Amino acid sequence: MPELPDIVVYIDALNKRILGQTLERVRLASPFLLRTVDPPLRAAEGKPVRALRRVGKRIAIGVEGDLWLVLHLMIAGRLHWRERGVKVARPRGLAAFDFPNGSLLFTEAGSKKRASLHVVAGDAGLQALDPGGLEVLDAGVEQFTAVLTAANHTLKRALTDPRMFSGIGNAYSDEILFEARLSPVALTQKLKPDEIARLFEATRATLIHWVEELRGESGDRFPEQVTAFRPNMAVHGRYKEPCVRCGAPIQRIRYADNETNYCANCQTAGRLLADRALSRLMREDWPKTLDELEALTAK
């Protein structure tokens, strides 16, 4: 799922292309994409774009009259800048937003259609779609601490909860926790003050780094290679590859459609975290440390 750095870079590219341009027409290929009926989608057509905003992991396009088209890409949704009038080809094509200088194409890979488009009026409409998580780049450590410790969750869950922190998902939470040298299953209310301060700085540093990195990659081009797996990430998507810090193999925990990647040596004092499926299968044979894992795989 595109997260804060990806969304920021999308908005950078859209600002250069559609700010001040008139939204001539919206062509829907998938009727299930549009999740609202009032205001009607047609009310936004024929009006110039006045602003673009990030609302958590959503992109909000504001047109004259205080109407907002809010796009949520979910896991597989992506945006593309194409020639005006580009064909919206099913099954991946969801919609096209036509402007005088080109068309913004909204696509979604895979069979699970989760991406969405809402049309809302005013700040109240935007706020209704905002989960309300803290904008860490605009906050201080005191605010961060208050949100983090309000309930006792694992760090991975806390960082990826949009009601707690805005714009952070599966990929960048892995990178943040690696940078902070903290376990993804450490409990928020059991962290020491210095650990919270370290996590706060790591969160800010990681998000800022990746915004700059992705801006550099895109340059003046529209960002087409938006992915959760990048070769220069430290841990995310690097299962079994050597840790960039210590050389130990990167580990993972699988759950549902997601996985958490971490370095046991750098983050959990050498302790392996139990993967639900495998640990259930292996029970007492599940290795608890990197040394036990190496001995097991050497057999």
Of 129, 162, 193, the position where a domain reaches its end is 129
Q: Number of structural domains, the chain? A: 2
Confidence band (pLDDT; 50, 70, 90) for 1? confident
**CA–CA distances in Å: residue 282 to residues 111, 249, 253, 274, 292:** 33, 20, 15, 10, 13
Q: Which of 103, 129, 155 is the last residue of a domain?
A: 129
Q: Which residues contact 138 (CB under 8 A, 6 or more apart)?
A: none
Q: Write down the pLDDT at residue 256.
A: 65
Q: Residue type at 109?
A: A
Are 256 and 216 in a shared domain? yes
Taking CA 243 as the corner, what is the angle to CA 237 and CA 244, rounded to the nearest 5 degrees? Answer: 105
Question: What's the per-residue H, E or C state across 226-237?
Answer: CCCCCCCCCCCC
Q: Are 150 and 203 in a shared domain? A: yes
Same domain as 212, residue 181: yes
Q: For 190-196, which contacts have Cβ atoms below 8 Å and span 24 or more sequence positions?
A: 190/152, 191/148, 191/149, 191/155, 196/141, 196/144, 196/145, 196/148, 196/149
Domain edge (last residue) among 72, 99, 129: 129
Q: What is the CATH number for 22?
A: 3.20.190.10
Residue 90's pLDDT band (cuts 50, 70, 90): confident
Lowest model confidence (mean pLDDT) among 24-38, 69-83, 191-205, 267-281: 267-281
Residue type, position 281, single letter: L
Distance CA 259, CA 174 (A): 10
CATH of the domain at 252: 1.10.8.50
Residues 220, 205 share a domain = yes
Kindly tell me if the per-residue pLDDT of 277 is higher than 80.
no
pLDDT tens profile 187-223: 999 999 999 999 999 999 999 999 999 999 999 999 9
- Residue 69 identity (one-letter amino acid): L
pLDDT digits (tens, 9 = 90+) for 18-30: 999 999 999 999 8
Range of the domain at 270: 136-298
Answer yes or no: do 115 and 187 share one domain: no
Asked if 58 and 203 sit in the same domain, the reply is: no
Residues 39 and 175 in one domain: no
Same structural domain for residues 90 and 53? yes
Q: Are residues 54 and 158 in the same domain?
A: no
Are 120 and 199 in a shared domain? no
Percent pLDDT > 70 in the chain is: 91
Listed in sequence order, the residues at least 6 apart from 255 whose beta carbon sits closer than 8 Å to its beta carbon are 276
What's the predicted TM-score (pTM) here? Answer: 0.90
Per-residue pLDDT at 290 exceeds 50: no
Could you tell me which of 290, 296, 295, 249 has the C-alpha nearest to residue 271?
Answer: 290
Tell me, yes or no, whether 149 and 282 share the same domain.
Answer: yes
Assess whether 93 and 241 both reside in one domain: no
